[in-house]
Amino acid sequence: MDTKELREITSRDVDFPKWYTDVCKKAELIDYSSVKGCMIIRPLGYALWENIQKELDKKFKETGHENVYMPMFIPESLLQKEKDHVEGFAPEVAWVTHGGQEELPERLCVRPTSETLFCEHYANIIKSYRDLPKKYNQWCSVVRWEKTTRPFLRSREFLWQEGHTVHATKEEAMEETKRMLNIYAEFCEDILAIPVVKGEKTPKEKFAGAENTYTIEALMYDGVALQSATSHYFGDNFARAFNMKFMDKDNQEKYMYQTSWGMTTRIIGAMIMTHSDDHGLVLPPNIAPTKVVIVPIGKNNDEVLAKAYDIAKELKLRGVSVTIDNSEKSPGFRFAENEMKGIPVRIEIGPKDLENNLCVLCRRDTLEKVRVELPDVEDEVIKLLADIQTSMYVRAKTRRDSMTKSVLTLDEMKASIEEQNGFIKAHWCGSLECELKVKEVAGVTSRCIPFDEDNKDGKCCVCGKPAEHLVYWGKQY
């Protein structure tokens, strides 16, 4: 592959879905599998997931959660115990019917989610209020038989974490539900540089079996929304279905209150679609597996290479992950290849730079270059990484805000979405009929009822009756 071929990806402004697939493939994040609808996550893609896992796992443990692992298979009888839950997942469930050559006495579901397994376990191990709360999380894969798949965004098997906690009171469970949503929001904004809207799903859009579903919604470069993580309050619905009882301080038997929350590998897709460009992947420094690449220029120049290793050593001592690209490919190809993989900072150094005690820093997000003195290079790199992280968030938020419109009527909503994708803020009376009418006429769905903008002082954009909520609407992945 030559430099031209490497750089030839579809423009995101011409064909956004094709551009997205090109970036996933050419940045070597994924490859396709012979198993239809499933993807191979390549080393760079998996390194991103490892860093996501590392950051989130730390936050989970700081808030008192422990990691466990549940079986991959769920007996059909166990799945059937919570009616709303099983109905919600029935179309996507994969079933195991045989073990070897023998038909199983009961079908086994390949887990689409693990609420039922956790419920069974909690019912067995929790007897008293002294056993509460139980705050478990698991890192695993799940299977949902999606009809239409796309790398990271939708695949039949994907990686995620799912937290499941039980509490003695409604208040404790609700506090946990919102705490975890805030952790997800802070992670997206501080680590992934993705601005999000926090809010509650409408009853139509909430998780099957939940009383309340809270969400963080992000807006991609093309103006289409992506649900980035969810946190659910179950009340005692599952507890009643699974007989999850405990003896409280007043010596009365009571049902537990339960939560569930999760984030998946689709967040990698969100990061790609928020930040990347026509040169390939663009990674926020706080999540990038390799933050700096040093490209020595010139053949058979031991002094240049030695200086590259000195710089790499100093950066590593200061906690910066760095690699040296000293391959036999041309400098132009190496520049393009590392840009394609989204490494936040590139250091270029050649014989003339060494003579002048200089090197070149190139930032991946804007491709701007600056010359710096070699004695200052480590300090300048650390400053640049911080600036890139902040700048990426600001650019993403500015773009999202520019694509967020307020409307008063359904006709205005339809006209707005036909002109440009984005978030549309409009009031809603709370009726399912009006929510369905919005989708029918404007082709958008409710994304969330925002926490910090729940202004009821308005009229429903559909029926004109007094509004119950201000809602963010939009197309979604």
Do 209 and 115 contact (CB within 8 A), yes or no? yes
Compute the distance between CA of residue 475 and CA of residue 225 in angstroms, rounded to an integer. Answer: 6
Task: Report residue 374 as tokens.
Answer: 């070699």
Please name the helix (run of DSSP H) or strand (run of DSSP E) that holds residue 331, with its range, or none: helix 331-340
Q: What strands, in cross-sheet order, belong to the sheet with 157-167?
A: 66-67, 134-143, 157-167, 257-264, 225-235, 212-219, 197-200, 445-450, 469-474, 423-428, 404-406
**Number of residues that make up the chain:** 477
Q: What number of CA atoms fall less than 13 Å from residue 126's CA on the CB side?
A: 31
Are 339 and 363 spatial neighbours (Cβ–Cβ below 8 Å)?
no
**Range in 79-83, 233-237, 415-419, 432-436 with the lowest mean pLDDT:** 79-83
Tell me the pLDDT tens digit for each residue of 163-212. 999 999 999 999 999 999 999 999 999 999 999 999 999 999 999 889 99
Q: What is the pLDDT of residues 263-290, one digit of tens each?
A: 999 999 999 999 999 999 999 999 999 9
Q: What is d(CA 117, CA 308) in angstroms, rounded to the nearest whole number?
A: 53
Per the CB < 8 A criterion, the answer to whether 53 and 41 are in contact is: no
> DSSP states of 125-153 as a string?
H--BGGG--EEEEEEEEEE---SS-BTTT
What the chain holds in terms of domains, given with CATH numbers, is: 3-275 (3.30.930.10), 292-384 (3.40.50.800), 405-474 (3.30.110.30)
d(CA 238, CA 183): 24
Q: What pLDDT was estimated at residue 51?
A: 98
pLDDT average, residue stretch 224-252: 96
Bridge partners, residue 219, by sequence: 225
Q: Of 205, 264, 258, 198, which is closest to residue 232 (Cα–Cα)? A: 258
Residue 50 CB-half CA count within 13 A: 10
452 — pLDDT class (breaks 50, 70, 90)? confident
CA-CA-CA-CA torsion sign (303, 317, 335, 2): positive
Helix, strand or coil for residue 244?
coil
Q: Is the pLDDT of residue 84 over 80?
A: no
Q: Report helix angle 170-190 to 43-62, nearest 10.
A: 140
The CA distance from 162 to 115, in Å, is: 9
Q: Which helix (H) or strand (E) holds 240?
A: helix 237-241
* Count of CB atoms situated within 10 Å of the CB of 187: 23
Phi–psi pair at 309, nearest 5 degrees: -70, -35
What average pLDDT does the segment 46-60 reach? Answer: 98
- Give the C-alpha separation, 432 to 477, whole Å: 22
pLDDT of 457 strictly over 90:
no
Cis (ω within 30 of 0) for the bond into 133? yes
Q: Mean of the per-residue pLDDT values for the chain?
A: 95
Tens digits of residue pLDDT in 328-367:
899 999 999 999 999 999 999 999 999 999 999 999 999 9
Residue 76 has pLDDT above 70, yes or no: yes
The CB-based long-range contact list for 410-414 (8 Å cut-off, 24+ gap) reads: 410/437, 410/438, 410/441, 410/442, 410/461, 410/462, 412/461, 413/438, 413/441, 413/442, 413/444, 413/461, 413/473, 414/441, 414/442, 414/443
The per-residue pLDDT for 1 is 58
**Nearest to residue 283, comparing CAs of 193, 195, 217?**
193
* pTM more than 0.75: yes
One-letter identity of residue 184: Y
